[in-house]
Amino acid sequence: MTRFLLERPRTLVSLSFFAERYESAKSSISEDLTILKRTFQERGTGLLETLPGAAGGARFIPYILKEDASEYIDYLCKEVSDSHRVMPGGYVYLSDLLGKPEVLRQIGRLIATQYMNQTIDMVLTVSVKGIPIAQAVAEQLNVPFVIARQDGAITDGATVSVNYVSGSSTAIEKMQISKRALPAGSRVLIVDDFVKGGGTISGLASLVRELDCEVAGITVFGEGRFNGERQSENFTSLLHVETLQSESEPIRATPGNYMHRVFGNER
Amino acid sequence: MTRFLLERPRTLVSLSFFAERYESAKSSISEDLTILKRTFQERGTGLLETLPGAAGGARFIPYILKEDASEYIDYLCKEVSDSHRVMPGGYVYLSDLLGKPEVLRQIGRLIATQYMNQTIDMVLTVSVKGIPIAQAVAEQLNVPFVIARQDGAITDGATVSVNYVSGSSTAIEKMQISKRALPAGSRVLIVDDFVKGGGTISGLASLVRELDCEVAGITVFGEGRFNGERQSENFTSLLHVETLQSESEPIRATPGNYMHRVFGNER
């Protein structure tokens, strides 16, 4: 039952279904759900919403507790603040970190917690490095994710495209998405790995609006320093990363605005 | 305990750890593990290896049963055999299917089952469409995944690159990977979304060898029809997909060689 609920976040599973599956009385299933609810709460796994009555059931909503969130963000800061990650041009090598299932699962939980009380129909990102984050968040929210592309993928059929100014290079670029990817009226969560000037996430937000959808929120893994005015929308960042401030401290990652936005002022 | 083990496939968790975490005697933890083992087996969730003794513990190895695998592949065939998926040039639109967490989880289980008794250190794919599959498999195997790129990602530092012949277009292309992504001696599982001529997976295999690693296996979601000789390595496919055979049946997906390779001859 634990496994079944964990694998289907935000889905209501009826008492009758469990009763049939485990050949048990609804009353004992109901008792077991109460124990599970308490355990999930004690362990900070998430919320098990139980709906009473004959048509009732249970729905698992994953979240992360404030202390665990703060601790995990501190861990990420420590991991990112490694001088070996600094690449030419002040870029940061994150591919190893964002290729670890356990790290992605925790990032997914962090971001899903922010939107746990909202309706999200889709997660949207742009290829390549945003994809693992989008997939991790989509898993926790149990909704599909969609990938916009900077190159033209000929297998996507009819597309919608927007031009955007890449903030870090001030060049004009183009990104596109398959027309059939986002049904009109969807509430879309935008995620990406890293924001500098903010042009990319602005472009993603334009794509969402072009397809008559709504931007439900924007959250990124890392936010870099940017000299100049950000063109971008309002967004949440897990980390704030500054590179090449000095020879002795080539990279410094600190918590982004996530804790403040999700859990309020005090840490 | 269920959650803890499910989230850490192929990791040995000691009895002492559980005893401390749940403030219980090792003997009762041990009894609970026995129940869990039986439940996992009955439900086809996977294998719970239990190691006896003071230094013992439990390790969860996800797998899918033969009947469930066959049924899921049939379901995928039905989903893919939808005439709306045919794109110009005989390409197949799969982005919606490969953007659904539940579908990816099952594909991950299928592929992980094939390699459950082998050491796999890394999963490798090439951007863009192979990424969700790589991430899904990496999650079930609990190992990192690595992304090779066709464009040059300037944030990857020093790279190794190979040229390969794209089978479907016969053009020479180049792909590259960060040198630090694959430690020498790693056993690497290659996955991708679709194989036509096989040039891409041959290129990935070359990258693996260039970095003094070993190809542990190659599995793809779909295998297309190819007129001519495949240049590729030996690989496993979940589905076999033919497009534009006739006006009335523009696309037909049938099971690939997965069932035969993983579960033996008879279906």
Q: Which of residues 225-264 of A touch B (CB under 8 A)?
A: none
Distance CA B131, CA B137 (A): 10
Smallest Cα distance from B23 to chain A, Å: 13
| Cβ pair A149:B128 closer than 8 A | yes
- pLDDT reported for residue B155: 65
* Partner A contacted by B142 (CB < 8 A): yes
Q: Which of A101, A131, A147 sits opposite B139 (nearest CB)?
A: A101
Q: Which of B93, B104, B149 sits opposite A155 (nearest CB)?
A: B93
| Cβ pair B89:A135 closer than 8 A | no
Q: Degrees (nearest 5) of the Cα angle A238, A75, B153?
A: 60
* Partner B contacted by A62 (CB < 8 A): no
CA nearest to A93, candidates B160, B176, B182, B155: B155
- Residue numbers in B near A127 (CB within 8 A): 127-128, 131
| Cβ pair B2:A7 closer than 8 A | no
What order of strands is seen across the sheet that includes strand A236-243?
A: A145-148, A122-126, A187-195, A214-224, A236-243, A251-255
Ramachandran assignment for B236, one of left (phi > 0), alpha (psi -120 to 50 degrees), beta (any other): beta
CB neighbour list of residue B162: distance below 8 Å, 6 or more residues apart? B174, B175, B176, B203, B206, B207, B210
Whether CATH 3.40.50.2020 fits A66-263:
yes
| Cβ pair A178:B128 closer than 8 A | no
- φ and ψ of B80, to 5 deg: -75, -30
Angle between helix axes A101-114 and A66-80 (nearest 10 degrees) is 130
| Mean pLDDT by groups of 10 residues along chain A of 267 residues | 92 92 90 92 92 85 96 97 84 92 97 96 95 98 95 72 76 88 96 91 95 97 81 88 76 95 76
Element (H, E) at A261: helix A258-263
Residue pair A240/A223 in contact (Cβ under 8 Å)? The answer is: yes
- Residue numbers in A near B180 (CB within 8 A): 93, 96
CA nearest to A101, candidates B144, B100, B113, B13: B144
- pLDDT reported for residue B210: 94
CA nearest to B232, candidates B183, B267, B197, B181: B197
Distance CA A89, CA A93 (A): 11
Stretches where chain B sits below pLDDT 50 are 267
Smallest Cα distance from A105 to chain B, Å: 9
Smallest Cα distance from A238 to chain B, Å: 20
Residue pair B158/B177 in contact (Cβ under 8 Å)? The answer is: no
ipTM of model over 0.90: yes
Provide the residue ranges of all domains of chain A, joining segments of one domain with +: 2-62, 66-263
Q: Which of residues 4-43 of A touch B (CB under 8 A)?
A: 6-8, 43
* Partner A contacted by B149 (CB < 8 A): yes
Q: Which of B101, B132, B149 sits opposite A142 (nearest CB)?
A: B101
CB neighbour list of residue A11: distance below 8 Å, 6 or more residues apart? A59, A60, A142
Smallest Cα distance from B191 to chain A, Å: 15
- pLDDT reported for residue A267: 45
CATH architecture for segment(s) B2-62: Orthogonal Bundle (1.10)
Please report, in angstroms and rounded to a whole number, the separation of the first and last CA atoms in chain B: 35
| Residue A26 amino acid letter | K
Domains B2-62 and B66-263 share a fold: no
Element (H, E) at A69: helix A66-80
Q: Which of B3, B100, B146 sits opposite A144 (nearest CB)?
A: B100
Total CB pairs under 8 A between chain A and B: 125
The alpha-helical segments, DSSP class H, found in chain B are 2-6, 15-21, 26-43, 66-80, 101-114, 131-141, 199-210, 258-263
B151-174: b or e for each residue (b if 16 or more CB lie within 10 Å)?
eebebbbebbbbebbbbbeeeeee
Tokens describing residue A149:
């592309």
* Partner B contacted by A158 (CB < 8 A): no
- Residue numbers in B near A87 (CB within 8 A): 154-157
